[in-house]
C-alpha cells in the first residue's frame, strides 16, 4: 500500500543514518515498503551499505538520472506497482518516529487529500493539520514575508488522485514547487504541523545556492501553466531582489528605474498588509 523511496546519490556519509531512521519509523506499521533507490555515479553508497550490514532493499539504477528524473522515475515505478501511497525521501534527511503513523492518520481523516507533508519551518508543540489548496500554496511560495520556496522533502502522494503527473524538468531546481501546485489542483494537501523530518542545508544540497534565474524559471512556469497574472508576483519579485542584493531601503537605482519603483511600492504595501 505505502512505498517509501530513499533517493540516494553519491552521499555515502548520510545513507545509513537515513535508512535506519526510516526503517525505525516503519517497523510497527503494516504494509510499508522501504526502498533505497541508488542513483550514484560510483559504488561508494553500495559499498557503505554492505559494510554496515543494514537489511535494506536496494534498487541500483542502470543509468544515472538527474534529480528530477529520479523523482519522476520512482513515482511512476510505484504507480505501476499499484501502490496507493508513495513518499520520496532524500538521503540526507532523517525521519522521525511518528512520520509514517501521522501521515496515514492524515490520509484516513482526509481521504480526498492528494498529498500529506510536514511543516518543518519551526518547532511545534502538539500536532494539528491544515488543508492547503492551490491559493494557500501560492501565498506560501510567493510570500513577501518568506524567502524560501516551500520545502519539498518528505511529501507522500496519494497515487489514486495524483495519477501520472510528473515534475517538469525544464523548470529546474524549483520544479518541485510548481509540481505541488498541480498536485493541489487535484486535491487538497494536508500539512501537518509537526517536525517529523529533520533536514539540513549543506554544500551538497540543492538549496545551498540561490539563483535568480532559477526563481525566474519558476515564475514563468507558474504564470504560463496556471494562468496567473504576473501582477500577483510583484511584491514577491521585489522582496526576493532586495534580499538577494541585501538592500533594506529605497535606493537611487530603484527610483531611477520606473519598473523597479512600481514593484517596490507594491512590495512595501504588501509588507504593511495594506493590500492583499
Res 151: pLDDT: 55
User: Containing domain of residue 160, as a range?
Assistant: 2-208
Give how far Cα 263 sits from Cα of 255, 268, 270, Å: 11, 9, 11
Residue 48: inside a domain: yes
Domain co-membership, 244 together with 143: no
pLDDT at 99 > cutoff 70: yes
Domain co-membership, 156 together with 259: no
pLDDT at 248 > cutoff 80: no
Domain co-membership, 70 together with 165: yes
Residue with the bigger pLDDT between 89 and 137: it is: 89
pLDDT band with cut points at 50, 70 and 90 for residue 267: low
Whole-number average pLDDT of the chain: 81
Residue 7: inside a domain: yes
Residue 214: inside a domain: no
Report, as an integer, the average pLDDT of 166-183. 91
Q: Of the candidates 149, 173, 208, which is a domain's last residue?
A: 208
Domain co-membership, 25 together with 72: yes
Residue 223: inside a domain: no
Residue 216: inside a domain: no
Residue 148: inside a domain: yes
Q: Cell numbers 510528473 label which residue?
A: 166
Domain count, the chain: 2
Q: What is the pTM of this model?
A: 0.81
Residue 222: inside a domain: no
Residue 135, CA atoms < 13 Å, CB-side half-sphere = 1
Grid coordinates representing 236? Answer: 514577491
Domain co-membership, 201 together with 236: no
Domain co-membership, 238 together with 186: no
Residue with the bigger pLDDT between 172 and 123: it is: 172
Distance between CA atoms of residues 164 and 161, nearest Å: 9
pLDDT at 10 > cutoff 80: yes
Give the whole-number percent of the chain exceeding pLDDT 70: 74
Residue 122: inside a domain: yes
Res 227: pLDDT: 81
Q: Within 87-173, where are the H helices?
A: 99-109, 134-141, 159-162
Closest-CA residue to 11 (of 205, 151, 169, 173)? 205
Domain co-membership, 172 together with 275: no
CATH number at 91 reads 3.90.550.10
Domain co-membership, 66 together with 164: yes
Amino acid at each position: 500500500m505505502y512505498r517509501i523511496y530513499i533517493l540516494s546519490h553519491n552521499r555515502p556519509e548520510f545513507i545509513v543514518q537515513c535508512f535506519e531512521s526510516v526503517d525505525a519509523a516503519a517497523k510497527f506499521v503494516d504494509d510499508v515498503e522501504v526502498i533505497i533507490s541508488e542513483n550514484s555515479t560510483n559504488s561508494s553508497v553500495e559499498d557503505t551499505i554492505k559494510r554496515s550490514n543494514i537489511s535494506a532493499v536496494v534498487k541500483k539504477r542502470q543509468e544515472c538520472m538527474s534529480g528530477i528524473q529520479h523523482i519522476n522515475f520512482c513515482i511512476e515505478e510505484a504507480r505501476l506497482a499499484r501502490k496507493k501511497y508513495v513518499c520520496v525521501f532524500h538521503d540526507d534527511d532523517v525521519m522521525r518516529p511518528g512520520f509514517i503513523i501521522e501521515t496515514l492518520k492524515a490520509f484516513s481523516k482526509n481521504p480526498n487529500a492528494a498529498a500529506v507533508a510536514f511543516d518543518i519551518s519551526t518547532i511545534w508543540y502538539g500536532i494539528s493539520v491544515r488543508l492547503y489548496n492551490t491559493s494557500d500554496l501560492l501565498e506560501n511560495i510567493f510570500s513577501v514575508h518568506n524567502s524560501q520556496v516551500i520545502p519539498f522533502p518528505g511529501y507522500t502522494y496519494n497515487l489514486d488522485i495524483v495519477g501520472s503527473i510528473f515534475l517538469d524538468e525544464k523548470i529546474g531546481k524549483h520544479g518541485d514547487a510548481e509540481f505541488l501546485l498541480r498536485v493541489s489542483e487535484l486535491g487538497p494537501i494536508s500539512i501537518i504541523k509537526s517536525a517529523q523530518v529533520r533536514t539540513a542545508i549543506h554544500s551538497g544540497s540543492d538549496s545551498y545556492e540561490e539563483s535568480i534565474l532559477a526563481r525566474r524559471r519558476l515564475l514563468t512556469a507558474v504564470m504560463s501553466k496556471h494562468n496567473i497574472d504576473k501582477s500577483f508576483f510583484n511584491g514577491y519579485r521585489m522582496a526576493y531582489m532586495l534580499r538577494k542584493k541585501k538592500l533594506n531601503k529605497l535606493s537611487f537605482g530603484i527610483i531611477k528605474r520606473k519598473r523597479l519603483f512600481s514593484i517596490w511600492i507594491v512590495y512595501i504595501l504588501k509588507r504593511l498588509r495594506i493590500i492583499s
